[in-house]
Structure 1
Amino acid sequence: MKRWTQWIGAGLLALACTSAPALADGPVPERSAAEEKAAFEQDRADILAMAGDYKVRFDMQESTPWKQGYTPLDAKVSGGHESVRVVEDTGRKIILQHLLVAEHGGTTFVIKHWRQDWEYEPDRILAYTGPNSWKWEEVPEAFRQGRWSQTVYQVDDSPRYAGWGRWETVGGVRRWRSSWTWRPLARRDAVRHPVYDRYLAINRHQPTPDGWIHWQDNMKMDGEDTPIVQEYVLNTYTRSSDYPTEAADHYWKATSDYWAAIRAEWDRVAEANGGITIEEEAETGTVISARLLEMGSAIEAGDLSTEKAIAEGVRLIREHTS
């Protein structure tokens, strides 16, 4: 009864705060210590299973218009190859780095892609709060037990969005479903300068027999928080070694120390300032993203030392988040 009362109180509080999306689900049922441990280990296994080498299919479709006169965009399907590597695993925290592997003109190259950090029973998340701004947001105490947060970072390791939820089995299928999360526009939308400027979304991760899927249920909103159109995104990761996976490992071995320092500096700024504020632009994400990525490629090519790249990267982050 006590936990149920806490849940009702937390839910009403969230609904009353117009700046925060509503909660996505109820409390985790009471479990014995053995059940809690088994669930925790199963959750970890599902998260770690997302690491590997994949052929990826990106399927995006605006569907239901919520604003009179708005015409949804045509469906867009694309794909590629992506390697996902475990950067850190401390038990209660797991970091997965995505690396796109592409070929052009007979040359293979690697693009550092998004990163996902998972944390068990967190007390806060670094949430998107509006243009150019991310702030620490408390996870309601009644919704911490048995749950994991997922924080997604952009290609330069600046934050993108964060949510929390639990892993569960529904209809014989495992899934993790996030709380409602605010998110900045993806590049595919931002470069068009549309009438909407953010997403209100729920994310789902689900293991499949040959990989995993990432569902995104996106409500595209304008600056007045008026809904414009609904969108679904289904990213399908199918295990594959039919591409030069060694290129991803070569890039990561050469640049991992550099990116560790960049992650640490973003973390330092977030702690010192209660969040992160940095200007973004449609084409690149943050205004320093292109340079941070360029330096990673230069390190791999042997044209720039890790030490010099770290020094410049730290300077850029400090200058643009002051």
Structure 2
Amino acid sequence: MRAILIAAALLTGAAPAATALAQAPAQGATTPASPFERDRQSILAQAGQYRVHFDMRENVSFNVDYDPMEGKLSGGSEIVRVVYDKGDRISLQHILVMEHDGQAIVIKHWRQDWVYQPETVVAYAGPNHWALTPVSADQRAGAWSQTVWQTDDSPRYGGVGRWTYVNGLSVWTSDPTWRPLARRDAVLNPVYDRYLGTNRHALTPTGWVHIQDNMKMNGRAGGEPVAIVQEDVVNTYDRSTSYSPKAGDDYWAATQDYWAAVRDAWDAAIARDNGVYVEEEAQTGVVTGPPLMDLAQKIQNGEITTEAAIVQARATIDAATKR
């Protein structure tokens, strides 16, 4: 039911210290003393309170039997909070804060973790599988990895790239990165089963933008995946004070200790198996999504203690990831 409400809210447009906003550097602001610090400030500038616009367009078919779908436009209200800032490691949590038919809807959305000069990255390796992948010394020098995690803090994709500052742009560009299907595509049972995408995060005068160049690929036959269609995705985050972030911040304050334990449990599973196997579902991303999200909601509702929820969450992750 909550998934239906989320979709409806998006279509209609309708933490302790970590909740402080990080605004983009002002025009003409002093350049940070080091390239490393300049990168850090660019990452932290993504924190804030936004109206988000999602623009997804399939452009070019590479399969004679496939016609590109019509473009999809949607929007929503989203806050981005700093989970932690450890210098060379930064975590940002996205939380949807919307209203539908007078009902407040708060959904813990995706999370992005940044690591400077990473030795490994959690990369999508095909259906139900994410691998802890080494990053070569040349590739990681001066670079940042960005790992994106799903709503239940299970992995989604990871890539490595560099921030650049030319032509008036502050932009991070990833290497080509494998990704699982988004719900919007997975529920259609399409002929493709994964994306190969390049991601760019660029600061704008009013916030930032996430630009994706996705090649939708079919790898079901084994061997080298085959390109089906190319897609552009432009997700624009514009700062906004047109809504109250309180419901989202209240949710995060109530559940952040639980989610910290969930992150630790996923990290342990990944370290144990040098990656992780967990079954994917079209509606939820992975099978752990509904139970882990429900436990967080029960904490906020006062139906279960944080400690009891953590015990159940660890058991859920352990059962879903052991083969």
Interval containing the TM-score (normalised by the shorter chain): 0.7 to 0.9
Report percent identity of matched pairs.
Answer: 53
1:244 to 2:248 alignment? no
Aligned partner of 2:192 among 191, 196, 202:
196
1:185 and 1:161 map into 2 onto residues whose CA distance is 11
Q: Which runs of at least 4 in structure 1 moved beyond 6 Å after TM superposition?
A: none
Alpha-carbon contact 2:174-2:200 (below 8 Å) kept: yes
Find the counterpart in structure 1 of residue 183 from structure 2.
187
| Secondary structure in 1 matching 2:34 | helix
Alpha-carbon distance between aligned partners in 1 of 2:32 and 2:297, rounded to the nearest angstrom: 43
Q: How does 1:152-191 map to 2 (within 5 A)?
A: 152-191=148-187
The AA in structure 2 aligned to 1:297 is Q
- 1:99 deviation in Å? 0.1
Which residue does the alignment assign to 1:48? 44
Task: Give the equivalent residue in structure 2 for 1:76.
Answer: 72
DSSP 3-state at the match of 2:70: coil
Hey, what's the Cα distance between the residues in 2 that align with 1:69 and 1:319?
A: 40
Shift of 1:122: 0.4
CA contact 1:36–1:146 (8 Å) conserved in 2: no
- Superposed displacement of residue 37, structure 1: 5.8
CA distance in structure 1 between the partners assigned to 2:98 and 2:122 by the alignment: 31
Q: In the TM superposition, what whole-angstrom CA distance separates every residue of 1:28-56 from its partner, at most 9, and x where no partner exists? A: xxxxxxx9961111100010010000000
Tell me which residue corresponds to 2:130: 134
**Structure 2 segments unaligned to the other structure (5+ residues):** 1-30
Cα distance in 2, alignment partners of residues 84 and 285 from structure 1: 21
SS of aligned partner of 1:130 = coil
Output the amino acid matched with 2:216.
K
SS at match of 1:161: strand
Q: TM-score, normalised by structure 2?
A: 0.87
Consecutive unaligned residues of structure 1, counting only runs of 5 or more, are: 1-34
Q: Deviations over 1:230-275 (max 9, x none)?
A: 0000000000021121111100000000000000000001011110
Counterpart of 2:209, as a letter, is I
- Provide the C-alpha distance between the structure 2 equivalents of 1:184 and 1:208, rounded to a whole number of angstroms: 28
CA distance in 1 between partners of 2:320 and 2:170 (Å)? 41
Look up the SS of the partner of 2:142 in the other structure. Answer: coil
2:31 paired with 1:63: no
* Superposition map of 1:274-313 within 5 A: 274-313=274-313
**In the alignment, does 2:142 pair up with 1:149?**
no
Alignment RMSD (CA, Å): 1.2
Aligned residue type for 1:206:
A
Displacement of 1:76: 0.3
Aligned AA for 1:150?
Q
Distance in 2, matches of 1:217 and 1:285, equals: 21
Write the distance in 2 (CA, Å) between the matches of 1:103 and 1:310.
Answer: 29
1:9-48 mapped onto 2 (5 Å cutoff): 38-48=34-44
Contact 2:32 2:38 in 1 (8 A): no
Q: Alpha-carbon deviation of 1:69?
A: 2.6
Measure how far apart 1:146 and its partner are. Answer: 0.8
Alpha carbons of 1:55 and 1:78: their partners in 2 closer, same or farther (altered >3 Å)? same
Q: 1:37 to 1:125 in 2, by over 3 A?
A: farther
How far apart are 1:170 and its partner, in Å?
A: 2.8
